[in-house]
Amino acid sequence: MTRESFHMPAGVSVARKVLAIVVPTIIAIWFIAFCVCYFGIFYNNPVTPAGYAGYVTRGAIAGKTEFVKVQYGPTSSGAGWLLHATNVPLTPRTYEEDFSGAEGIVSGDNTRIAFAVNVTMRIRPNQPGTKQDWVRTYVEKYTTLHDGDSPEQILSNTYNNNLKQPIRGYVRLSAESIKGLDIQDNMPKIAEDVNKKVQALTANTPFQVTKITIGRIHYPDSVTNQVANNLIATQKILQQNIQTDLTTRDARMMVIDNEGLAAAADIINKSITPQWLQYQALLAEEENVKSQSSTNLFIEVGPMGVPSIAGSPKQ
């Protein structure tokens, strides 16, 4: 029996060689793509910037999302399977409540007044030695999360849902018991009263209201005009009072001057005697004699050449 030699066709040999190269290549590409997708899509490294806290959760393709931790920025969680962080602002934010127009305050004397209230708040920081995590409580119990919401929108939404209307009610309750023109002087008192009520409201919650201020008060034009007219009238009265005081003072000064002149005249009348006049006349004669340009004086004289003065005793 002779053995016949078997030869494989040339085409089959080439096909096997191509498969030997293509199949491993396809497997390698698939493996690389799988790794890229697995680690690029399903593995995340959430970043939390400074001034924020990150509420980190781990998702699942099949199952439910679970809480991982709260991280405080600036930091990141490190690469992990389906990690996601909801960042929450930790620094204070200020929200303005406007009371104007139809929303204006009706004061105790039925005057509608417009002003603004500024509320400064933040997420309450954790206290040392306690297990209470206010960021976790805030996210899990007070937030309403939507896709694409920024941290500022999240905080603003929780303020609107939990604090906005109570604070507006406290402001109305405090301000509407005060007369319109007295509200401006009582602004610190109103802010303090509202702050006390807000502190009681936010106790044991993640919200910490640090300051409440009232500003931009605006009265109706009619009230403003009346106040301006009152000020003008008051100024005129003050000016009239000042003028009256000046006139009274001048009159008193004239009386004092006249009294002084009368007193001086009385002193002079009592001091000028006939003997004093005779003495002055003798001095005048002496000065006339000594003068380079003497003048002839005709003076009635009495005994011994003494000038005769009315009322002087006869010698």
309: which DSSP letter?
Answer: -
* pLDDT band at residue 315 under the 50/70/90 scheme: very low
Residue 180 has pLDDT above 50, yes or no: yes
Q: With CA atoms as reference, report the closest residue to 306 among 280, 278, 284.
A: 278
* pLDDT band at residue 111 under the 50/70/90 scheme: confident
Q: With CA atoms as reference, report the closest residue to 54 among 67, 37, 39.
A: 67
pLDDT, residue 156, reads 94
Of 14-18, 164-168, 241-245, minimum mean pLDDT range:
14-18
Domain 93-219, CATH 3.30.479.30 — does that match?
yes
Cis-peptide into 74, omega within 30 deg: yes
Residue 175 has pLDDT above 80, yes or no: yes
Residue 145, classed as helix, strand or coil, is coil
* pLDDT band at residue 314 under the 50/70/90 scheme: low
**Averaged pLDDT score across all residues of the chain:** 80
pLDDT, residue 202, reads 96
Query: Which residues make up the CATH 3.30.479.30 domain(s) of the chain?
Result: 93-219
Distance CA 134, CA 207 (A): 9
Of 44-48, 49-53, 72-76, 110-114, minimum mean pLDDT range:
110-114
